[in-house]
Structure 1
Amino acid sequence: MPELSVLLPARNAAGTITRAVASTLAAMPRDAELVVGNDSSSDSTVGEAIRGASRGGVVDPRLRIEDITPGEGGVSRVLTQLMERTDSRLVGRMDADDVSLKGRFKRTMRAIERGDDMVFTQMIELRGSRPVPRMPYEITPEDMGWHLLLTNPVCHPTMLAIREIMDRVGGYRSVPAEDYDLWMRVASAGGRIRRIAPWGLLYRIHPGQVTGNASWRSDSWKNPEQARAFADLSVSLTGQELPRLVSLVSLPRDEAERELDRFVQVYTQGVASRPAPSRRALERRLNARAAWVRSHLQGEQS
């Protein structure tokens, strides 16, 4: 078995997958495989993936293409099948419309070797042809859980993880935000999750993204399994069950404001012992998220 399997779900991605495959193979170590999960594509996705892996008429043997069994569950279904069809010690992720940057796997594997269980890089958003770099700062395992209580601070296709920690918590589940749901369960189980500062990915922003859909966001905010994962994480960090901040916007205003005040108080007490730079960063993020909730509550009233 290879040391690393990079999982790349793809459906009708002929326009972008060539570069995604080529850039990922260029960034990968030799003892690795790139496994494309072809989810019933009706275009030339498979051919373009092979073209991205070809040099001088020779196809890189590290590319493997798996036809995915149709069904419900979206990307979580594809990822679950790819996990079942691979046996590497490490699991990486890539999306069919993004671009891997050189050095991403070398850096994340180094962090794994030093004791982390799940590692992400920072990313550069690609808005049309305009690159928009995200701030290159690290989030340590000691701070990651606190960040996860506020939002999802990492980019799924930059992930590198030890398979054992993913299997231990049940892997991907069929929920709207399958990535955030997994991170919360890993953090609750004591897994060490880190985001390193360097950029490792060009992340393409486009109108058709699922995560930009209002219906998807609503389903994610109200999903009971994700709410349970969030509550478990909050208990592990604070000793109290807290609601997801995004879920408060669907409550009556008085109840939402009470829950928001409780969240802010418990969270602020919880991060008080963190080193000053971390504490200040977390408090700034908390204030921004609380302001977002209040603006939505005011909008509902008006």
Structure 2
Amino acid sequence: MEPLTVMMPARNAETTVAAAIRSVTRGLPRDGRILVLDDASDDSTAEVVRGLARRDRRIGLLGSAGSRLGVAAAATALLDAVETPLVARMDADDISFPWRFRSQFALLDRHHLDCAFSPLIFVGPGRFAVEPQPLLSAGPESLGLELVLNCAVAHPTMTGYRAAILDVGGYRSVPSEDWDLWMRLSLNGARLGRTSLPALAYRRHSGQTSAQSEWKASLGRDTAIAEVHRDLCRAVLGEQSHRDHGAYAALAGPGAAPEQVAAAERLIDDVAAQASRFPLAQRLSLAVTAHGVRLLLRKRYPVSPSGISRTR
């Protein structure tokens, strides 16, 4: 495969960044690189990375000029600084498995993909909390359907072609920059796929952005992602079959109106009905995703005996 750079944003990650980097180097190709962006950390993150870089010239450090960039801008800065055709994403508190790149390169090559993803294993909160994602593969068509229900692939597992990401404008400053990017890639004709082999251990903790209620509310209100979601629904389900009445708002977070919740239920039905078109593994993945999203939707929006959502 062509040369690869692993992009790793880091903020106040002095206790985890060394383990994250070492886990990447175990499976990194000889011509691969790791580029860490220190996003105005208040701790010794940069010093830890510099120490590792002195012993391994594959490791590089990028600063943020003293001002905090945030998730989307940090991802953009890394993407702009990379010079290799292939890029991968890694968080500074996760652990990459040694076989990650070998399995993802094989998937990219075998199916002529633009981006490859893998399942991950959630670790935490708590020392003994371990939860694997479903170990099911997905191809470009089935993954497009999964993406209209949720962010079906994990950002830190992405390995793909930089040119494909740049071709859709790269990252945007929206609450879920990864889901937004995957949907725009699919709309642009990029081929995305997921292997069934897990690629990394993903640390979960209460301080993560995606765990905050304010973030969840802002995601549901975001009109830019909602527009991309609407376009992808029409692309993968057809102009006539897709009935959009605000399904995105209910799928993305709290605060949706009853008619939007009903639209989300219909969209789940429409996606689930497509599962029979695909090989067994992808069919199972679509069914698991549709079922999981439906359970989450009903937990978020409980219904009364009359069938009217009680939660707004």
Q: When the two structures are superposed, what TM-score results if normalisation uses the length of structure 1? A: 0.89
Q: Which segment is superposed worse, 242-251 or 218-227?
A: 242-251
Aligned mates of 1:133, 1:297 — CA distance in 2: 26
Contact preservation (8 Å) 1:248, 1:260: no
Residue 306 of structure 2: aligned partner: none
Q: Provide Cα deviations, 1:84-132, integer angstroms capped at 9, x if missing partner.
A: 1112100101111011110111111222223111011221112143343
1:136 and 2:135 equivalent?
A: yes
Aligned mates of 1:267, 1:31 — CA distance in 2: 41
Q: Provide Cα deviations, 1:165-217, integer angstroms capped at 9, x if missing partner.
A: 10111111101110111011111111111111112111111111111111111
Aligned mates of 1:274, 1:110 — CA distance in 2: 21
Higher-strand-fraction structure: 1
What residue ranges of structure 1 are gaps of 5+ in the alignment?
A: none
Residue 121 of structure 1: aligned partner: 118
Residue 7 of structure 1: aligned partner: 7
Q: Provide Cα deviations, 1:27-57, integer angstroms capped at 9, x if missing partner.
A: 211111100001111211012223445xxxx
Residue 229 of structure 1: aligned partner: 228
| TM-fit CA distance, 1:285 | 3.1
Query: What amino acid does structure 1 have at the position aligned with 2:163?
Result: E
CA 1:95–1:290: 2 relative to 1, 3 Å: same
Residue 71 of structure 2: aligned partner: 75
Contact preservation (8 Å) 2:38, 2:62: yes
| TM-fit CA distance, 1:21 | 1.0
CA 1:69–1:234: 2 relative to 1, 3 Å: farther
Q: When the two structures are superposed, what TM-score results if normalisation uses the length of structure 2? A: 0.86
Counterparts of 1:44-193 in structure 2, within 5 Å, are 44-53=44-53, 59-69=55-65, 74-114=70-110, 115-127=112-124, 128-130=126-128, 131-193=130-192
What residue ranges of structure 2 are gaps of 5+ in the alignment?
A: 304-308
| TM-fit CA distance, 1:278 | 3.6
1:37 and 2:37 equivalent?
A: yes
